Amino acid sequence: MTEATAASPATRMDPALLARLTGGLGDRRTIDKICADFGQLYSDFLPDVFHSETHLDVNVGYVGCETGLMSDLVAEVSDECVVADASLRNWCPGFLMTCGNGFVITLMEHMLGATSDTIEEPVMRPLSKIELDMAIMVFEKIGSVLKSGVNAPGGFETLIERPQNAEDRAKPAADEPDQYAAVIRLNISLGPVTTEFSLIVPQKALLKTTVVFPKSKGQQAKGKKEWAEQIGEQVRRSQVTLEARIKLQTLTLRTISKLAAGDVIPFFDAEDVHVDVSANGKEMYVCEFGKSGANYMVRVKDNVSSDDEILRHLMS
């Protein structure tokens, strides 16, 4: 009598095979073709979008594409980029936009009046809060070209979350489902500065996409003045932390070493107390110290820096 053999455990299907069978993974040739179509779309239309609203000449060129798991492609994004999670209804519920910080910094300098012959390759650093506000508008332009070029019914706008420096983006949860994706990489140049922007899109969305090339309709230009006003509004809404420094009377090291809770150190000025107000380490105003009701305050007496100098510093 033979013993009954134990049932063998169910064989788990290979994830790549499952993705291919369910439309989440395409062959390399198909993905390359779709990504190249996106590259052509952006090369043809994104420069017009920027020029119509800023009068700046931007050059865009397709670099290529890479494929892999979404988590791996996102992990490879450089810390020298700004990123934004995005979605487009009836096309893709979630994808990632990236843009090199150098482009945003250079665009900000241009909009503040700098010319190409005075702009140099910027030092790579995280974007400031005001520059992140500028990145919103950069991604909006990228999103508007995307909307016009994919066959998504309904005419919905691309929804873009608040941009972040790449190093600040939260890591996905360990149990979050992964999917196969492709990164579409493009060069973007403004004056002497060239950097990259990209779209990291699940292949499930790409494989259903037919890229269309809209006819040039003579974009309704907002004009440089309105663009500058829009930037100004973003700047005015940005929060800046101010610091006040008051000079105290000189004390000997012996006295300082014996200070205890409750001891008082007089101000250096006997009458109107001189206060230096700064932001991000930049002295901005000369003020006097006083009190209004129950609140202590400072009153601005003079500017240390010009308006342009203050604005440029706060944006860096």
Q: Which of 236, 223, 181 is nearest to 203 (CA)?
A: 181
Q: What is the pLDDT of residues 36-95, one digit of tens each?
A: 999 999 999 999 988 887 788 899 999 999 999 999 999 999 999 999 999 999 999 999
Tokens of 96: 């990632």
Question: What's the pLDDT tens digit per position in 84-116?
Answer: 999 999 999 999 999 999 999 998 888 777 666
Q: What is the mean pLDDT of the chain?
A: 83
The pLDDT score that the predictor gives to residue 221 is 43
Whole-number Å distance between alpha carbons of 63 and 153: 29
Per-residue model confidence as pLDDT tens digits over 144-186: 999 999 978 888 999 999 999 999 998 877 777 889 999 999 9
The CA-to-CA distance between both ends of the chain, in Å, stands at 83
What per-residue confidence (pLDDT) applies to 160? 96
Lowest mean pLDDT among 52-61, 88-97, 236-245, 282-291: 236-245
On the question of pLDDT at 216 being above 60, the answer is no
**For residue 270, what are its two tokens?**
């006997």
Is the CATH number 3.10.450.50 carried by domain 15-237?
no
- Which pLDDT score is estimated for 250? 87
Any idea where the domains of the chain sit in the sequence? 15-237, 243-314
CATH number of 243-314, picked from 2.30.30.40, 3.55.50.30, 3.10.105.10, 2.30.330.10: 2.30.330.10
Least confident of 7-11, 17-21, 181-185, 297-301: 7-11
Place of tokens 């073709």: 33
pLDDT at 308: 61
Phi-psi region of 23 (alpha: psi -120 to 50; beta: other; left: phi over 0): left
Is the pTM for the entire model greater than 0.75?
no
Average pLDDT over residues 118-126: 83
Instruction: Give the pLDDT band (50/70/90) at residue 220.
Output: very low
Q: At what angle do helices 129-149 and 223-237 cross, to 10 degrees?
A: 130
**Is the model's pLDDT at 140 over the cut of 90?**
yes
**CA-to-CA distance for 144 and 5, rounded, in angstroms?**
62
| CB-based contacts of 165, cutoff 8 Å, min separation 6 | 79, 81, 82, 83, 101, 126, 127, 132
The Cα–Cα gap between 218 and 102 comes to 29
E strand or H helix at 60, and its extent?
A: strand 58-69
- The string of DSSP letters for 9-53 reads PPPPPPHHHHHHHTTS---HHHHHHHHHHHHHHHHHHHHHHHHHH
Q: How many CB atoms lie within 10 A of CB 60?
A: 21
